[in-house]
Amino acid sequence: MKRRQLLTLLAVTGTAACGTSPAATTATATPSGAPVSVPAPATTERLGPALTATSPPPSPSTSVSPPVTGKPGVMLGSYLALGGRTLRQSLALRRRQLSREQRIVHRFYPWDGYLPASEPDVAAASRLMVSWHGAPWAGILDGGSDAMIRSVARKLKAMDRPILLRWGWEMNGDWFAWSGAANGQDPAGYVTAWRRLHRIFADQGATNVSWIWSPNWNSSPDVPWNRMQSYYPGDAYVDWVGVSGYNFYGESPSTLFGPVTRRYGGRKPIILSETSAVRDRARYIERLHTWVADTPAVGAVVWFDTDIQEGTDHDFRIDADPSALAAYRSMAQDPYFNA
């Protein structure tokens, strides 16, 4: 599959960005991910003490924090953008099809554009997940974006609801302006930028925000400097570890999500922040259902549920065909996926 270039549109208009990476040097070719999120640890509802951008990474813990729901299981939700329907209409359709609410509703916000004061269509019982676009690191590291970051922190705080915040996702790909490939091949700059944002949010008292660090399932380019772990900000700055992965080349859930889960699942809850089935839809959903149920470190799954993704003719909807919808409904009605 030919790699798609960066496609960024305002999520508040219902449009997101989904990139694909070229084949990796391993035996399996690799696409990229698009947007998703999970239940956070018990401490996720508030940030820790203010941390400076230059603070060293803390020592990793060895225990898995329980989901924010306080019970075992998985929060299942989606990014919803269906052709010809508003978000409210799309949510109502999925509610009828699945006989349940979305536990997570995923939205995309631009880096320095319009930010809504609220999300009235997102039910109080649903967790709001925000993918906030990144930016070239230089304008963050030099302090030039501090005022805007403070403004966003205050707006998200004022929403007065728990928010899962995924900033600068898929940084180990080469399709976004905030990628390592576009910023001097220096992942340390991303780490410093992330810590700066984290500190500013803490200073603004945005205690309702939990932070999702979310690489793509594989790196593009697949070279030593671009390994995903080089971008990890440190356990004190991350509440959830997310991952984007789609079966563009027939990859299994264990191929897409196993490496991230093995690396970080003993320290942080894992959220499949973007996934969808491109090939063998029903089979992929069935395998995902089984793999997640057998992987307790995973606390959330967020489907990329759209048929209007800019730059691709792929149909990512859960009801793209009847067998896919039946498989997804089976997963959605499993009590384990109703945490």
- Entry pTM: 0.83
Given the residues 101, 251, 274, 286, select the one marked as catalytic.
274
Q: Work out the average pLDDT over 324-331.
A: 98
pLDDT digits (tens, 9 = 90+) for 22-33: 333 332 223 333
Quickly state the pLDDT bin for 312 (edges 50, 70, 90).
Answer: confident
Can 170 be counted among the known catalytic residues?
yes
Residue 92 has pLDDT above 60, yes or no: yes
pLDDT digits (tens, 9 = 90+) for 124-141: 999 999 999 999 999 999
Percentage of residues of the chain with pLDDT beyond 70: 79
| Distant-in-sequence contacts of 80-84, Cβ < 8 A, 24+ apart | 80/105, 80/106, 80/305, 80/306, 81/14, 81/15, 81/16, 81/305, 81/306, 81/308, 81/309, 82/305, 82/306, 82/307, 82/308, 82/317, 83/307, 83/308
Domain ranges, ordered by start, for the chain? 11-337
Given the residues 101, 170, 251, 286, select the one marked as catalytic.
170
**Window from 24-38, 143-157, 180-194, 199-213 with minimum mean pLDDT:** 24-38
Can 119 be counted among the known catalytic residues?
no
Q: Which CATH class is domain 11-337?
A: alpha beta
**Residue 78: CA atoms inside 13 Å, Cβ hemisphere, count?**
24
> Phi first, then psi: what are they for 174, rounded to 5°?
-120, 30
Residue-level pLDDT at 16: 57
Residue type, 171: M
Q: Where are the alpha helices (DSSP H) in 145-272?
A: 146-158, 187-203, 253-264
Quickly state the pLDDT bin for 71 (edges 50, 70, 90).
Answer: low
**Residue 259: CA atoms inside 13 Å, Cβ hemisphere, count?**
14
